[in-house]
Amino acid sequence: MSGQELHYQVMWNRLISVVEEQALTLVRTAFSTSVREAGDLSAGVFDRAGRMVAQAVTGTPGHVNTMAAAVAHFINDIGPERIYPGDVYVTNDPWKGTGHLHDITVTTPVFTGDELIGFFASTAHVVDVGGRGYGPDAREVYEEGLRIPILKWVERGELNHDLVTIVRQNVREADQVVGDIHGLAACNETGRRRLLAMLDEFDLPDIEALATFIFDRTRKATLDALQSVPQGTYTNTMQVDGYDETLTLAATIDVTDSGMHADFTGTSPTSAFGVNVPLTYAQAYFTYGMLVALAPELPNNFASLAPFTVSAPPGVILNAEHPDPVAVRHVIGHFVTDLCLGAVATVLPDVVPAEGAGALWNFQASARSASKTDPKPPVELLMFNSGGTGARPTIDGLTATAFPSGVRTMSVEATEQIGPIIIWRKEIRPDSGGAGRQRGGLGQTIELGPADGYLFEFSAMFDRIQNPARGRSGGEPGAPGAVYLDDGTPFAGKGKQTVPADRRLILELPGGGGFGDPARRDPDAAANDQTQGYVT
């Protein structure tokens, strides 16, 4: 490595520390538990053309990889001639942001003097955006809440009080939502200040030379990693529950010497309900799946994302178009990773795992007073939970772990602190991991209910109840999920329902599929499964 290359490597490491501090500022300032506790966020730095140079490790693929495309929309919609020092921009547009209205993306330009040198951007999931609330029941995006086009939250240092008022008047948790937008702006400001200090320290006018160095090496390393997949065409299909009927997801992946392209022709049509997925979100989870399989050590930036492209005909559920409802696009979108990994499994048999639980099991509830004579204040509650991942070729799947989203499970203590909810039980679910030479990851069982004086209006957004995760190479499927009240009353996997004041809701999260012939499982591992209670 030459002296110049070593110099750039030092600056690259410094840049990563800048975006990590950016993300941690958001975690520290966030109002929503989904950000503070679960890490449902993203943060990154971009060059003046809107190309992502570096991202924080803290974050989710659905946020990071969609945000990577979002900054170009900010530049185009604001207009280069209207970008000023001291500005802050905001949007939650599903097709220019991260795929649904509940994610707020904030972008801040960076100047040295009067010269624009780049941008910081960050995204966070907020607890409410008005409308029907977080759930799949809407029939149009208009019903799903407040849609903020790309606008100036701050112009030349002056807060847009009119926009703040519009947001406050259209959401149920105004302090939390407005507070989170300010938190996003604060985290970008931290990044901006640290970047300018870095440029002063290294006596640099901007980040263009550093970005070129990063892009050149990342692109070469990405294309080198792609050589492990023989050029050709690979296909896969998968069945998932959908809102009220089973859906088919289909992918055809073409591998060339210049990249990989996924086409989703053959996928089921868009739903009448809010489980539809904007194509940018499907692309995010296709790209993520390929990168973790082929080059998990590579940094995520413009150059590593560019070789992975997607297409889909209009009207399929992985290519939702305005005004399709998209509120819980993650439920179907998270399956894109396993769908596309399954397509290349035959040529990467020692890499690709079995299918896992996939989609998060988000518990979203509106806590409402159970008595009209003793009214209690309404509270919005959100808790993230995960089933098991698929078994890997050489090791068991992970228990109660979010893949591919990477979102952390919220702690019981933090969840109970934010509202009138009692979590009576949260434990590993025995026998839920698919049998195999390597066992699938286990799901979990959660029993919860409203605190005294409340009931829950609860939006179910669960999958793999009718279509469990499939095993691979002879492995057996994971256990399907289940949702029901403690008196045995079954609940639907999707849609708004009520948990009465005197009842508890039981969630049995699905397990991951097994890998390989179960008869070839190591006897010591099988005995340990029995000892630990994983298998009964």
The pLDDT value recorded for residue 417 is 87
In tens, the pLDDT along 289-298 reads 999 999 988 8
Q: 451 with 421: CB under 8 angstroms?
A: yes
Q: How long a stretch of residues is the chain?
A: 536
E strands within 165-257? 232-240, 247-256
In tens, the pLDDT along 179-208 reads 999 999 999 999 999 999 999 999 999 999
Mean model confidence pLDDT for the chain: 94
- Report the alpha-carbon distance of residue 335 to residue 240 in Å, rounded: 8
Nearest CA to 302 out of 210, 186, 211, 206 is that of: 211
Percentage of the residues of the chain whose pLDDT score is greater than 90: 84
What does pTM read for this prediction? 0.95
- Domain coordinates of the chain in residue numbers? 3-219, 353-536
Q: For 407-415, what is the mean pLDDT?
A: 85
The pLDDT value recorded for residue 1 is 58
Q: For 438-458, what is the mean pLDDT?
A: 95
Lowest mean pLDDT segment, chosen from 49-63, 69-83, 322-336:
49-63
Percentage of the residues of the chain whose pLDDT score is greater than 70: 99
The pLDDT value recorded for residue 216 is 96
Nearest CA to 54 out of 88, 2, 94, 9 is that of: 9
Q: 389 with 398: CB under 8 angstroms?
A: yes
Is pLDDT of 5 > 70? yes
DSSP of 442-485: P-EEEEEEEPTTEEEEEEEE--SSSSPPP-BTTPPPPPPPEEEE
Is pLDDT of 58 > 80? no
In tens, the pLDDT along 93-152 reads 999 999 999 999 999 999 999 999 999 999 999 989 999 989 999 999 999 999 999 999
Structure tokens at 8: 């750039």
Is pLDDT of 282 > 90? yes
In tens, the pLDDT along 371-392 reads 888 888 888 888 889 999 999 9
Q: For 480-506, what is the mean pLDDT?
A: 95
With a CB cutoff of 8 Å and minimum separation 6, the contacts of 274 are 135, 136, 137, 138, 144, 325, 326, 327, 328, 329
The pLDDT value recorded for residue 61 is 82
The pLDDT value recorded for residue 6 is 85
Structure tokens at 224: 């080198």
Q: 323 with 270: CB under 8 angstroms?
A: no
The pLDDT value recorded for residue 66 is 87
Confidence band for 30, pLDDT divided at 50, 70 and 90 = confident
Lowest mean pLDDT segment, chosen from 34-43, 234-243, 260-269, 433-442:
34-43
The pLDDT value recorded for residue 328 is 96
